[in-house]
Amino acid sequence: MAAAAAVAEGMSVPTLDTSLDALVAVLVAGPDVKSVSDLAGKTIAIDDRYSEQSINRVRTAMAAAGALEVQLSKGQTTAINRLVGKEVAAAIVGLVSASAADSFPELPRFRIFQVPLSARSSPAKP
């Protein structure tokens, strides 16, 4: 888990030069979450380093993936640590390119999903 937290913290924050359409949200959830839609109505942690524009895009992408009415919650503790501490149902640990998301390590007892921020992209994938 420490290695995954380090990877998550090292994932780049989108800059003004980066199109949010080209990014995916890396979502980490517990083993009972079989699909992104299982998170409908739940609270999901997101680090406070992300802009409101990014957070709104994540919320829209989550709804497009079937997770309606999710609550994205910022906190002083990192998103991954809030998930591990069972404060939230899932955590957005990065907004990165699809190739960077593919390199995110597997985590024992957790499921990893990729949620495309572009409406033109394919649906979320595990």
100, two tokens: 């960077």
Q: Give the homologous superfamily in CATH for domain 2-116.
A: Periplasmic binding protein-like II (3.40.190.10)
Q: What is the pLDDT of residue 5?
A: 53
| pTM of the complete model | 0.80
Q: What is the DSSP string of the chain?
A: -HHHHHHHHHSPPP-TTS-GGG-EEEEEE-TT--SGGGGTT-EEEE-TTS-HHHHHHHHHHHHHTT-TT-EEE--SS-HHHHHHTTSSSEEEEEEE-HHHHHTSPP-TT-EEEEEESSTTSPPPB-
pLDDT digits (tens, 9 = 90+) for 72-88: 999 889 999 999 999 99
Domain spans in the chain, listed from the N-terminal domain onward: 2-116
Q: What is the mean pLDDT of the chain?
A: 83
Q: What is the pLDDT of residue 1?
A: 54
pLDDT higher for 105 or 37?
A: 37
Q: What is the pLDDT of residue 121?
A: 45
Q: Could you tell me the pLDDT band of residue 100, with boundaries at 50, 70 and 90?
A: confident
